[in-house]
A and B are shown apart, each in its own frame.
Chain A
């Protein structure tokens, strides 16, 4: 079986309740290798809930997530052992948190932050680990001279770029991002988006990017899902959805946020 045509990840009927509060309902889609999918919607629409289910940080009440592993076999992630799931999470996946402090070890150096995943999968050559870290710092435009500083000294934009490097060092095929540019100044956002766009294209990454910023969706993604009240109300090619929204809600979103 040649896997390249098969979806990388398939979501089927994902539903999550927090007690009586709906998180998300009956979300289905799939994503292929190298594809960037944006998930947009207002606050409370269920974007983060969906991302956490997809990345196995949370279990859904109904539905399943299937993922095509590096060996080409597509598996239900709920059926993986905990060890397999954690291994997947720190090798073939990346997860970029909105708050970099949640995704970094703030007390250890930038080099160790980047090298940790390599060490976790058995790298035992200091010189090579450091070499990869230097390489990755350069690729996310962090001065390699600052490799031994902790991210405590870094600006918000640098921390976010460090978090990205830390995730990409194991060459994941899929990266989850929850508001990766949230909380940053506009000019810093633009630089980060540029960088992300370049990396995603260069590495052929698949990414699922949660954002309430339609400009982010426009710049990064080929396809998008629009969520409202926990459900996907519209989906399609990003340019099509943004230029010619079908749902009244999406029209409202587009007209209120995107300059013409």
Chain B
């Protein structure tokens, strides 16, 4: 038995509906546009929102890259890549520079993005005000009236409790001076990459049925206080594989005895550096200080 799918799985009418939502999202940077999210052949939490956005924008000549926490090789990334390989027959790649569409969960690649690339984020919870105001009617009104004191309250609580802004993932941003947006659970290390980015950034939340966008070269500011300004954070030290001292590092356990090392979370970036001859013994390389644990759990 052969099953034939429409190109990229979704039917053309559904794609048109999603594209209209995407266009509206691009026209109002950071604003959450409702859309009629479809059932996808994968469970929620596996990126059904991102998959629908990708399906709606993919063309036959596109080259697709899929990453999960920076890696091209996790089950999630592999299965989404296979899905589009099967249903759209598009070429896939692991190289950031070669891709035209990059679907991602939890990271922005280290290699700077360029124009004519689209970064598609998988979003679990699109509403940045949700944690303090559960009522959807009220959060919509707050966005409409630009009432964003509540986000500041959250940051205040961080400082009151931890002495600094302890939010390290899904760190709220203001887009183009207007809408406050949840960038999805990327590390705040990646936040500055969103601002003035030449690539188009699209965000899809499947379960919550929302799409939002950052058009190319849009100002994106991380919220903070004057006396507690936004700070990027990465685990201090160098990648144990490629020696990079400016990339976001993941902690990996290497054996049953709890031996740990820190390596680039962006596997493509790390491999490219190693291919170019970089290694852990780069001059001045230091082992990461094990006493300084990571600040937040990976969620």
Contacts from A to B (Cβ < 8 Å): 82-83, 86, 105, 107-109, 111-112, 115-117, 119-121, 123-127, 129-130, 147-148
CB-based contact A112/B156 at 8 Å: yes
The stretch among B24-32, B177-185, B223-231 that forms the contact with chain A is B223-231
CB-based contact B160/A112 at 8 Å: yes
Distance (whole angstroms) from the CB of A56 to the closest CB of chain B:
15
CB-based contact B145/A116 at 8 Å: no
B150, B156, B226, B227: the one contacting A111 at CB < 8 Å is B156
Report A-chain residues with C-beta under 8 Å of the C-beta of B156: 111-112, 115, 119, 126, 129
Report A-chain residues with C-beta under 8 Å of the C-beta of B150: 116, 120
Report B-chain residues with C-beta under 8 Å of the C-beta of A116: 149-150, 153
CB-based contact B149/A127 at 8 Å: no
Contacts from B to A (Cβ < 8 Å): 132, 141, 145, 147, 149-150, 152-153, 156-157, 159-161, 224-228
A115, A120, A125: the one contacting B227 at CB < 8 Å is A125
Report B-chain residues with C-beta under 8 Å of the C-beta of A117: 149
Q: Which residue in chain A gives the minimum CB-CB distance to B159?
A: A126
Closest 10 pairs (CB-CB, A-B): A120-B149, A119-B152, A126-B225, A119-B149, A125-B226, A83-B145, A112-B156, A112-B153, A124-B226, A148-B160
Q: Which residue in chain A gives the minimum CB-CB distance to B228?
A: A126
CB-based contact B225/A125 at 8 Å: yes
A83, A108, A121, A125: the one contacting B157 at CB < 8 Å is A108
Majority DSSP secondary structure for residues of B touching A: helix
Report B-chain residues with C-beta under 8 Å of the C-beta of A109: 157, 160-161
Q: Which residue in chain A gives the minimum CB-CB distance to B145?
A: A83
- Expressed in whole angstroms, the Cα–Cα distance for A143 and B153 within the complex equals 21
Distance (whole angstroms) from the CB of A133 to the closest CB of chain B:
9
CB-based contact B159/A148 at 8 Å: no
Q: Which residue in chain A gives the minimum CB-CB distance to B149?
A: A120
- Expressed in whole angstroms, the Cα–Cα distance for A17 and B132 within the complex equals 34
Residue of B132, B147, B156 with highest tally of chain A CB at under 10 A:
B156
| Known A-B contacts A111-B160, A148-B161; A121 and B149 likewise in contact (beta carbons under 8 Å) | yes
Distance (whole angstroms) from the CB of B146 to the closest CB of chain A:
8
Report A-chain residues with C-beta under 8 Å of the C-beta of B228: 126
- Expressed in whole angstroms, the Cα–Cα distance for A127 and B156 within the complex equals 10
Report B-chain residues with C-beta under 8 Å of the C-beta of A83: 145
CB-based contact B227/A119 at 8 Å: no
Query: 9 A-B pairs, CB-CB below 8 angstroms?
Result: A86-B145, A108-B157, A116-B149, A116-B153, A120-B147, A120-B152, A124-B225, A125-B226, A148-B160
Report A-chain residues with C-beta under 8 Å of the C-beta of B157: 108-109, 112
CB-based contact B227/A126 at 8 Å: yes
Add 18 more A-B contacts to A108-B153, A119-B156 (CB < 8 A): A82-B141, A83-B145, A108-B157, A109-B157, A111-B156, A111-B160, A112-B153, A117-B149, A120-B149, A123-B152, A124-B225, A124-B226, A125-B227, A126-B159, A126-B225, A126-B227, A147-B160, A148-B161
Report B-chain residues with C-beta under 8 Å of the C-beta of A111: 156, 160
Report B-chain residues with C-beta under 8 Å of the C-beta of A125: 225-227
B152, B153, B160, B161: the one contacting A124 at CB < 8 Å is B152
Q: Which residue in chain B gives the minimum CB-CB distance to A83?
A: B145
Report A-chain residues with C-beta under 8 Å of the C-beta of B149: 116-117, 119-121
CB-based contact B159/A119 at 8 Å: no
Report A-chain residues with C-beta under 8 Å of the C-beta of B132: 105, 107-108
Distance (whole angstroms) from the CB of B140 to the closest CB of chain A:
12
Report A-chain residues with C-beta under 8 Å of the C-beta of B153: 105, 108, 112, 115-116, 119
